[in-house]
Amino acid sequence: MVKRTLRSVLFGFIGVAVLLGFAQSAQAEGKPTFYLPTPPGQTWEVIQGYNCGTHDSWGRLSFDLVNTEGDTYGAPIYAAADGTIFFWTGRSGSLILSHGDGYYTMYSHLSSWIEAPTGTSVKRGQYIGNAGATNPSPTVPHLHFTVFRGDGPYAYNRQPVALAFAEGYNFPDNGGCNQYAGSLLTANGEADTIAPTLEWSGPAERTWVNSGRLDWHLSDNQSIQGFSQNWDAPAASDKPQFAAETGYLDLIAGQHIANVTAWDAAGNTASFQREIWFDPTAPSLPTTTVTESLTLNGSQSSLVLNWQAASDADSGLRGYQIYFGTDPQGTGEWFVAEQQVDVGLREPGLYYFRIRSEDNAHNFSEWTTLQTVQIN
């Protein structure tokens, strides 16, 4: 029989909840329908049943469950009904969900959980953590599962609720010791074998950009457990870094590949990649190849101006924007890709030839005056 010292920890939940001010969220009235919190299609065995041993007081109608088809430690655990997060303690790895009308479920000895704030909504069948052997549990990994009722916002006067599951299992209490030990329970439905999917948003792939970030949203036929991420190397594949459906990566200069590995609640994984080109730096200024001041007579039929090429280390140079006019601070949108421009015939006067360079990510250098031209 599994030994554990949860009694003092569980009684302590009430006092801790009062101190922290945890509030119960309003839910639909009436007893919820509970489903087995174990993976769909898997069979788990009750290794400690009602009453006796460490199952006493308001936790006396509890089950300790182990996986008969594989490892118990690390197995995903799911919410037995819709509800909200009411309480978590890492000491015993215990998560309590509130389901409204005074009903609660407790999942103990979890090795990890979704790490969401109190009051966060969860859906029935949503991943909430992984089975484990967290102290003060024994060395045998298992899930300790309890349904109970409590009064008021802090669940005072807790009373046990006999377990019954939508899969067709019903376990009334007859007062016996270790009732239902050895029972085999199979969660409803076939095992989920469909991997999650990902939708990117942000920069287009293999297109130079100068700002933004790479975002994504994960979807699944059941629910998402989380994801890992990395630039230019595979994302961590042993467990999710983040328990979320959405994520992002800040861009880094150059051509890089974003890697995301996603997990659904059943443990199915999928990996995704996206190549992003990011250049946040402006190109260099062009420079003149001739004197900075020209004097011309009006008999010339045209005026061709030349300059030294600018440079850009990342996305490369796209070309130049040109201004040729009488404003010493003038700007314009006249674009040329080459290193020369024919400004044509002009009336007599003093003209300013101003220019700025543009790279393929649409970064621009400052405007600079390369030449002044006096036409007589």
Strands of the 110-113 sheet, one edge to the other: 76-78, 127-131, 110-113
Residue 9 pLDDT: 37
Write out the DSSP string of 118-131.
Answer: TT-EE-TT-EEEEE
C-alpha to C-alpha distance for 113 and 120, rounded to whole angstroms: 13
Q: How confident is the model at residue 302 (pLDDT cuts 50, 70, 90)?
A: confident
Write out the DSSP string of 14-36.
Answer: HHHHHHHT--PPP--SSPPPP--
Q: How confident is the model at residue 192 (pLDDT cuts 50, 70, 90)?
A: confident
pLDDT in tens, 225-283: 889 999 999 998 888 899 899 999 999 999 999 999 998 877 789 999 999 999 999 99
**Domains identified in the chain and CATH numbers:** 6-186 (2.70.70.10), 197-278 (2.60.40.10), 287-375 (2.60.40.10)
Alpha helices in the chain (DSSP H): 6-20
Residue 155 pLDDT: 94
Whether 208 has a pLDDT exceeding 90, the answer reads: yes
Residue 22 pLDDT: 33
C-alpha to C-alpha distance for 245 and 227, rounded to whole angstroms: 8
pLDDT in tens, 37-70: 999 889 999 999 999 888 989 999 999 999 999 9
Q: How many CA atoms, within 13 angstroms, populate the side-chain half-sphere of residue 202?
A: 25
* Mean per-residue pLDDT over the chain, rounded: 87
Backbone φ, ψ for residue 269 (5° rounding) = -125, 155
CB-based contacts of 160, cutoff 8 Å, min separation 6 = 58, 59, 60, 61, 62, 146, 147, 148, 173
CA distance readout (Å), 251 to 201, 271, 277: 13, 19, 9
The region, left, alpha or beta by phi > 0 then psi within -120 to 50, assigned to residue 314 is alpha
pLDDT in tens, 318-345: 999 999 999 999 999 999 999 999 988 7
Residue 210 pLDDT: 97
CB-based contacts of 107, cutoff 8 Å, min separation 6 = 37, 77, 94, 95, 96, 97, 128, 129, 143, 144, 145
Q: Where is average pLDDT lowest: 143-157, 163-177, 193-207, 287-301? A: 287-301
C-alpha to C-alpha distance for 227 and 235, rounded to whole angstroms: 9
Alpha helices in 238-307 (DSSP H): none
Per cent of the chain over pLDDT 70 is 89
Check: pTM over 0.75? Answer yes or no: no
The number of beta carbons lying within 10 Å of the beta carbon of residue 160 is 20
Residue 137 pLDDT: 54
